[in-house]
């Protein structure tokens, strides 16, 4: 028998590479899509969403969400992205510019959910997070540390917001709901990077939200915060109110003698 | 000193006991009779001094609890979002002061607000001295002492800001480290000497602590003593007014008027600081978290008095680095360093520069009204604008985000403003001063317009002008006038370069000027013409010289 064993045959290498690719690619896809379990809604909901989409979004995003002049493709952005953008009022956009501002929400909860399911039905993408992951019972210390390392350079140490280049900015995080913070992290809206689950695990994200909510919900121990923007506000306060008040006193003292 | 009649009361006996041993009576007599003039702007330095006293009191409290150690520890205090976090002992003890020591947070806030107020009041005091010309002979040296006090105040502030070892202060230190390292050749060695190795090291907090609680306060106290001693030697200046001359001081005696007033004023300043500290938080270190060299938070700024230096760094254009024999000179660091040092040098030297230009060797105890020294006031306004633009430059990011502008545009606008702003401010201020002087002249010569228009018997309409009273008049006409110096040859018959520079500077200062109303002019206006005349008296052609 001069037949080579199976594993020595020329095509064996091809098979091994093929299997390896399936294993690693599939494994990666499985790992990164653990929260992207598509909560695609019912057929009517998707249809309702499609109608809303055509009436309100298609001008910029294309009639099938494929993107057009003025708007990116929405294929694969997932329900979370729609829920964030429309749910915070950023979409439909008012005017093009470096960045869209938050404004009053234009749609009802049901309408937003319908549009989200429609966009989710186009291609798999990040889903709207579950209630469980949004409970603010994580570890604020760990969340604070992660926040300072990953978020504070744009959003400020307590989430008061900050400037980016060319008119872009990181908005203040006070008053933003847990769900929207989570969605922003997984979808990376506008100029924000995506923090996927390999970068920050769902638990990490929960800790960050816990920290932010702690800062938001607990009164400042030291008194009024002057916008939490640090020494600039403190310096202006010193000059305008501190010194202003003291000069008023000096004028009063100086006037008494005359 | 002993009196013929022995004192009978307990107080009298005590006073007598002390007086017989310490001759306190004569000291008090001399000192208590010292006269100080009264004006609100003379109290600004006092505010700085009181803030300093408050700083020492509150700072002493803080030293009882603060531990300047960079050893690692795990936080176990009351602040939940940091529980279990790894941090230095310095930060942990600062958190303990804020959360676990009774009154600690209030004391920290009093200390920090007082620090901001201390430097602000000192700065405003310095501006008052500048704009009223109080730095002229014999007070040039005291200006210098004050200048170094201001620098020491900045140093005290910065070292204190860095102590808690939170993220904000660590970022600030990192910038200083970068600046030091940017100095060619010696920079890296200085940095590693200061930090005891590579930044952040384990020693810098303890070193800053020694600077903050011993060396710099000692320097401030010593300079303050000299500063006040000189005030006593020179006597206080006063604003022009009736009976006020260069050889007298019009005001009230120290005892009892100013002792009572100043004592009360101290408590008022303390009260304001305490009220602010109790209602407004300052430097909430717990928000910033422990220092870690990797994160840099948005909105990282120094306290206001370092702001102009931070602004200089931000406004310096990039891409200007030069390389000499393989050594890179980082102009992004060197340019701000050179510009700010030059600025400080001009501030320190200004009294000497002006004295040289005017050639004035007289003593001045009567202050200038800012309008009566138009060029100086304009230079001051230009300097203030330059400083203010640098200062605003430190908050470009906040301006961009709060006014919804592009950060890049704000930065470019600031760069342009840094050059254009002072020139505009100079021009506007000088013109304003000259116009105000013209107005003063007008009022001195012709009185105030009353708005009453009267028809004379022959049909002419005139407006009645009401002459100003003598006290007012004194203020309007009593100022010194300088004329441009001509370059004159020295005893060897040569005109030196220095003389030429001096002459051109003198021209720059005094070419445009409005002379004070002379006695002759005043008499002319009031004798030959009726006060209501609208015709102006003839002026000597030299008195008003416009450029065109």
Question: For chain A, which residues make up each domain, given as ranges?
Answer: 43-122, 131-217
Answer whether B98 sits within 8 Å of A167, measured CB to CB.
no
CA angle B16, B22, B26 (to 5 degrees): 80
CA distance B167 to chain A (A): 9
What CA dihedral angle connects B147, B149, B151 and B155, to 10 degrees? 180
pLDDT score, position A184: 92
Whether B260 maps to a domain, the answer reads yes
pLDDT score, position B544: 46
pLDDT band at A254 (very low <50, low <70, confident <90, very high): confident
Whether B320 maps to a domain, the answer reads no
Q: What are the tens digits of pLDDT across the range A188-209?
A: 888 899 998 888 998 999 999 9
pLDDT score, position B207: 95
Structure-token pair, residue B194:
């200061």
- What is the chain A residue with the closest CA to B311? A232
The whole-angstrom distance between residue A76's C-alpha and the CA centroid of its chain comes to: 16
Q: Any idea how long chain A is? A: 258
For an interface test with A, give the residue of B37, B84, B96, B287 to mutate (most A CBs within 10 A): B287
Q: Does B47 touch chain A (CB under 8 A)?
A: yes
Contact status, residue B106 vs residue A225, Cβ threshold 8 Å: no
Say if residue B302 is in the same domain as residue B447.
Answer: no
Q: What are the tens digits of pLDDT across the range B202-227?
A: 899 999 999 999 999 999 999 999 99
The DSSP-derived string for B468-479 is PPHHHHHHHH--
Position B539 pLDDT exceeds 80: no
Structure-token pair, residue B480:
């010194």
Position B541 pLDDT exceeds 50: no
- A14 or B452, greater pLDDT: B452
Q: For residue B493, how many C-alpha atoms fall within 13 Å in the half-sphere facing its CB? A: 0
Answer whether B289 sits within 8 Å of A225, measured CB to CB.
no
Whether B416 maps to a domain, the answer reads no
Q: What are the tens digits of pLDDT across the range B245-269?
A: 888 888 888 878 888 888 999 999 9
Helix (H, G, I), strand (E, B) or coil at B74: strand
The whole-angstrom distance between residue B122's C-alpha and the CA centroid of its chain comes to: 5
Q: What are the tens digits of pLDDT across the range B317-354?
A: 888 888 888 888 888 899 999 999 999 999 999 999 99
The DSSP-derived string for B234-258 is H---B-S-TT--TT---SEEIIIII
Q: Does B299 touch chain A (CB under 8 A)?
A: yes
Answer whether B40 sits within 8 Å of A250, measured CB to CB.
yes
Say if residue B294 is in the same domain as residue B441.
Answer: no
Structure-token pair, residue B402:
């709060």
- What is the chain B residue with the closest CA to A225? B281
Q: Does B74 touch chain A (CB under 8 A)?
A: no
pLDDT score, position B3: 53
Q: What number is the average pLDDT over the span A117-131? A: 87
Q: Does A10 touch chain B (CB under 8 A)?
A: no
CA angle B46, B49, B53 (to 5 degrees): 135
The two domains A43-122 and A131-217 share their CATH topology (first three levels equal) = yes
For an interface test with B, give the residue of A231, A245, A248 to mutate (most B CBs within 10 A): A231
Q: Which domain holds residue B184?
A: 33-306
pLDDT score, position A4: 64
Query: Taking a contact as any Cβ pair under 8 Å apart, which residues of chain B between 260 and 289 contact chain A?
Result: 261, 264-265, 268-269, 272-273, 276-284, 286-289
Backbone angles phi, psi at B88, to 5 degrees: -85, 160
Contact status, residue B167 vs residue B291, Cβ threshold 8 Å: yes
- CATH number of the domain to which B101 belongs: 1.20.810.10
**Count of structural domains, chain B:** 2
pLDDT score, position B108: 95
Say if strands B86-88 and B72-74 run parallel, antiparallel, or are unpaired.
Answer: antiparallel
Contact status, residue B38 vs residue B46, Cβ threshold 8 Å: no
Of the partner residues B98, B304, B397, the one whose CB lies closest to the CB of residue A162? B397
Position A36 pLDDT exceeds 50: no
CATH tag for A43-122 (out of 1.10.760.10, 2.40.40.20, 2.60.40.10, 3.40.640.10): 1.10.760.10
Whether B348 maps to a domain, the answer reads no
Cα B515 to Cα B518: distance, rounded to the nearest angstrom: 8
Burial status of residue A216 (CB atoms within 10 A of its CB: 0-12, 13-18, 19 or more): middle
The whole-angstrom distance between residue B138's C-alpha and the CA centroid of its chain comes to: 19
Position B517 pLDDT exceeds 70: yes
Contact status, residue B226 vs residue B139, Cβ threshold 8 Å: no
Q: What are the tens digits of pLDDT across the range B421-432?
A: 999 999 999 999
Cα B211 to Cα A26: distance, rounded to the nearest angstrom: 61
CATH tag for A131-217 (out of 1.10.10.1590, 1.20.1050.10, 1.10.760.10, 1.20.120.160): 1.10.760.10
pLDDT score, position A10: 72
Q: Any idea how long chain B is? A: 548
CA distance A195 to chain B (A): 17
Say if residue B302 is in the same domain as residue B435.
Answer: no
Q: Does A257 touch chain B (CB under 8 A)?
A: yes
Whether B48 maps to a domain, the answer reads yes
pLDDT score, position B546: 45
Q: What number is the average pLDDT over the span A167-194? A: 90
Cα A173 to Cα A88: distance, rounded to the nearest angstrom: 12
Structure-token pair, residue B449:
């317009």
């Amino acid at each position: 028998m001069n037949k080579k064993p199976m594993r020595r045959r020329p095509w064996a290498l091809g098979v091994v590479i093929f299997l390896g690719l399936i294993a690693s690619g599939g494994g990666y896809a499985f790992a990164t899509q653990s929260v992207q379990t598509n909560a695609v809604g019912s057929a009517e909901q998707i249809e309702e969403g499609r109608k809303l989409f055509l009436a309100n979004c298609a001008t910029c995003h294309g009639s099938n969400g494929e993107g057009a002049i003025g708007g990116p493709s929405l294929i694969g952005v997932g329900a979370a992205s729609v829920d964030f953008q429309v749910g915070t009022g950023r979409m439909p956009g008012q005017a093009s510019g470096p960045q869209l501002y938050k404004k009053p929400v234009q749609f009802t909860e049901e309408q937003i959910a319908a549009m989200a399911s429609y966009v989710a039905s186009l291609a798999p993408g990040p889903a709207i997070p579950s209630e469980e992951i949004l409970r603010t019972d994580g570890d604020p210390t760990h969340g604070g540390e992660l926040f300072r390392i990953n978020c504070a350079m744009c959003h400020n140490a307590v989430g008061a917001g900050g400037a980016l280049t060319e008119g872009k900015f990181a908005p203040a995080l006070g008053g933003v709901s847990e769900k929207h913070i989570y969605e922003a992290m997984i979808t990376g809206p506008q100029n924000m990077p995506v923090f996927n689950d390999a970068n920050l695990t769902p638990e990490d994200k929960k800790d960050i939200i816990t920290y932010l909510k702690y800062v938001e919900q607990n009164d400042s121990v030291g008194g009024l915060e002057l916008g939490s923007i640090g020494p600039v506000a403190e310096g202006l306060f010193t000059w305008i109110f501190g010194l202003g008040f003291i000069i008023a006193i000096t004028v009063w003292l100086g006037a008494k003698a005359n | 000193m002993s009196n013929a009649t022995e004192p009978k009361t307990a107080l009298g006996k005590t006073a007598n006991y002390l007086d017989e041993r310490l001759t306190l009576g004569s000291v008090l007599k001399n000192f208590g009779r010292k006269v100080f003039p009264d004006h609100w702007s003379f109290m600004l330095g006092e505010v700085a001094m009181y803030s300093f006293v408050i700083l020492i009191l509150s700072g002493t409290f803080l030293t009882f609890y603060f531990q300047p150690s960079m050893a690692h520890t795990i936080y176990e205090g009351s602040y939940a979002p940091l529980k279990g976090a790894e941090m230095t002992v310095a930060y942990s003890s600062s958190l303990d002061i804020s959360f676990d020591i009774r009154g600690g947070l209030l004391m920290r806030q009093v200390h920090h607000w007082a620090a901001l107020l201390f430097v602000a009041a000192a700065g405003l005091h310095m501006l008052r001295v500048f704009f009223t010309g109080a730095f002229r002979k014999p007070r040039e040296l005291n200006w210098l002492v004050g200048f170094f006090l201001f620098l020491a105040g900045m140093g005290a502030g910065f070292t204190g800001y860095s102590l808690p070892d939170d993220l904000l202060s660590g970022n600030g230190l990192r910038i200083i480290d970068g600046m030091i390292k940017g100095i060619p050749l010696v920079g890296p060695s200085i940095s590693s000497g200061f930090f005891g190795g590579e930044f952040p090291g384990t020693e810098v907090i303890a070193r800053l602590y020694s600077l903050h609680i011993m060396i710099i306060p000692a320097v401030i106290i010593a300079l303050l003593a000299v500063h006040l001693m000189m005030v006593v030697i020179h006597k206080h200046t006063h604003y022009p007014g009736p009976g006020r001359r260069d050889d007298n001081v019009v005001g009230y005696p120290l005892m009892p008027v100013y002792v009572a007033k100043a004592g009360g004023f101290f408590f008022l300043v303390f009260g304001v600081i305490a009220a602010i500290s109790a209602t407004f938080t300052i430097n909430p270190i717990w928000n910033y978290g422990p220092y870690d060299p990797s994160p840099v938070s948005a909105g990282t700024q120094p306290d206001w008095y370092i702001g102009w230096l931070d602004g200089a760094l931000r406004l310096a254009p990039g891409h200007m680095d030069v390389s000499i024999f393989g050594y890179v000179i980082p102009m992004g660091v060197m340019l701000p360093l050179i510009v700010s040092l030059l600025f400080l040098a001009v501030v320190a030297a200004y009294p000497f520069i002006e004295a040289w230009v005017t050639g004035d060797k007289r003593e001045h105890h009567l202050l200038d009204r800012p309008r009566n020294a138009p060029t100086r006031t304009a230079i001051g306004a230009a300097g203030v604008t330059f400083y203010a633009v640098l200062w605003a430059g430190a908050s470009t990011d906040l301006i961009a985000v709060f006014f919804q502008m592009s950060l890049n545009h704000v930065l470019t606008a600031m760069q342009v403003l840094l050059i254009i702003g002072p020139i505009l401010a100079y021009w506007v201020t000088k013109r304003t001063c000259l116009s105000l002087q013209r107005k003063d002249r007008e009022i001195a010569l012709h009185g105030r317009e009353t708005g009453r228009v009267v028809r004379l018997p022959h049909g002419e309409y005139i407006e009645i002008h009401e002459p100003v009273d003598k006290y007012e008049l004194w203020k309007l006409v009593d100022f010194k006038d300088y004329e441009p110096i001509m370059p004159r040859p020295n005893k060897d018959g040569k005109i030196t370069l220095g003389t030429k520079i001096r002459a051109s500077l003198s021209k720059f200062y005094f070419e445009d000027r409005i002379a004070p109303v002379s006695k002759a002019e005043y008499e002319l206006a009031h004798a030959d013409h009726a006060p209501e005349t609208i015709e102006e008296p003839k002026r000597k052609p030299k008195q008003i010289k416009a450029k065109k």
